Chains A and B, each alone.
Chain A
Amino acid sequence: MNKRTADVCDIYTNSVSFSGIVAIGDTVDANLESRGIAVQKEGARFTREDEKYFNNYALFTQQANWIPSSKKVNKTTFHHDDSIQVNHVRTIGISSSSLMQIGSVSHINADARIKHFRELRD
């Protein structure tokens, strides 16, 4: 896949956290995976027994049903203009294994699993 040059004038990103990626240029392979447990508790006093562990929940060990890439697509690309012009990009947060890419990326494989809990006071 022939590539184009990324011509970026201005990017403002407030925070890139929890293995987020900001990439300008070309990437061949991106494998993103994020797992999260979100506990919303009334009174918000967290103690030791509020801790939750990933392997206690089947959600995190479940098999993801990926789409079988059955048919082979042979794609030919012609770039008549060899640059990607970006004037201004403003983001507040790139977080939990996310990717902001300006340029080309051949393959992306991303998996996110979030389990939420809401605990109200009895």
Chain B
Amino acid sequence: MNMEVHNWGLNVENVSIDNVSASSVFLIGDNDEISLSSFFDTPPEAFTISNIVPLGPT
């Protein structure tokens, strides 16, 4: 596959970000190849409870 990229201007005025975390990428500019992988695990048995905690105000 052939790909031709023509870049004219890249002007960023203002960016405000709280947090870039856990192998994340914040890029202003050029790139060829990005591959990101993430595993996230909150299994039910990791939630050791005895009584169900009511979420709403009681």
Contacts and interface: CB of A to CB of B under 8 A. Distances in A.
Contacts of A67: 35
Contacts of A75: 3-5, 32
B39 A59 contact: yes
Q: Which secondary structure dominates chain B's binding surface?
A: strand
Contact of A79 (B7, B21, B37): B7
A112 B25 CA distance: 12
Interface residues of A, number: 67
A102 B35 contact: no
Interface string A70-90: 011111111111001111111
A84 B40 CA distance: 35
A95 B21 contact: yes
B7 A110 contact: no
A69 B34 CA distance: 11
Contact of B25 (A71, A103, A104, A110): A110
Interface of A: 1, 3-4, 6, 20, 30, 32-34, 36, 57, 59, 62, 64-67, 69, 71-81, 84-120, 122
A-B pairs, 5 with minimum CB distance: A112-B23, A104-B30, A110-B23, A112-B22, A64-B37
